[in-house]
Structure 1
Amino acid sequence: MEAIINRSIINFLESNQVLSGRQFGFRRGLGTTDLLLSLQHEWSRTSNAGDVTRVLAVDVADAFDKVSHRGVVHKAKCLGLTGHRLSWLINYLESRQIRAVVGED
């Protein structure tokens, strides 16, 4: 179910051209290699122009679990997410529970 909801939200964001062209994560057909190629191209361009390139790399482990869920919902609303997609997102973020059943209830 999570994959279906994720695809629905990503389709909405892509079809409404909400995502930046510099957004590589969680995009269909784009990934880490595309990001690295884009950065290498930009660094080569600035180096050839005689400019200086400074890089700051940050690895944010478990970023999703540390981000404000209310902030994610607010941002989603600002981007135009409504209806079932927004409800699914809110329920996923605010009402997450796991239940394992072994045998009969």
Structure 2
Amino acid sequence: VHIINTSLLTHTFPEAFKVARVIPLFKGGTALDLSNYRPISLLSVISKFIEKWIKLQLYEFLEQNNLLSDKQFGFRRGVGVDEALFSITRDLHDVVDDGRKAILILLDMAKAFDCVNRAQLLEVLRYSGINGDEHKWFGSYFENRSQLVSVDGTNSSSRPVDYG
């Protein structure tokens, strides 16, 4: 509890919690093909606890300030695939009923979260009203992140992670 309180009071995320240990989990197939491995990123329990607490606070802020679109279906409580499909179907029916043409483009962004630009995300947070000390905390959380790969008890050297 002391570590968590200190992190929040000083607006810094502890450096020791910024290192992820990646375990490549073999899915099957040819062992030499890297696409046959799923990377499992392990973080400290305290780090995960802080992240969950911050996630809850951020979610409440976004909900209370109506900053989430009604078309945002992923990562929301009580909203799932059924609601997304119903919304798309309803919108398409409305367009067709009005005699208009509809174009539906579906994208599957592979590894989308791995591509997030943190500087831009910080700007989005600022634009959304997360300023001051809270914004400083997020800046600290995103900076100096790194990972190492661990296979059979042997660790690689740590490498910086600048995106995701």
So what's the TM-score if we normalise by structure 2? 0.54
Give the structure 1 partner of residue 19 of structure 2. none
1:93 partnered with 2:142: yes
Corresponding residue for 1:68? 117
Relative to total residues, which structure has the larger helix share, 1 or 2?
1
Letter in 2 for 1:53: A
8 Å CA contact 1:47–1:53 kept in 2: the answer is yes
State the identity as a percent.
Answer: 31
The answer to whether residue 88 in structure 2 is matched with residue 39 in structure 1 is: yes
Amino acid at match of 2:104: V
**Are residues 98 and 16 of structure 1, via their aligned partners in 2, closer, same or farther at CA, if it must alter by over 3 Å?**
same
- Counterpart pick for 1:3 among 22, 39, 52: 52
| Partner SS, residue 80 of structure 1 | coil
Q: Which has the higher strand share?
A: 2
CA–CA separation in structure 1 for the residues paired with 2:81 and 2:145: 29
TM-score by length of 1: 0.79
Partners of 1:24 and 1:90 in 2: CA distance: 27
Aligned residues: 101
Give how far 1:84 is off.
5.3
Higher relative contact order (CA 8 A, sep 6+): 2
Paired residue type of 2:135: L
Q: Which runs of 5+ in 1 are unaligned?
A: none
Counterpart of 1:56?
A: 105
> What is the match of residue 16 of structure 1?
65
The structure with more radius of gyration: 2
CA 1:32–1:84 in 2, change beyond 3 Å: closer, same or farther? farther
Cα-Cα RMSD: 2.2
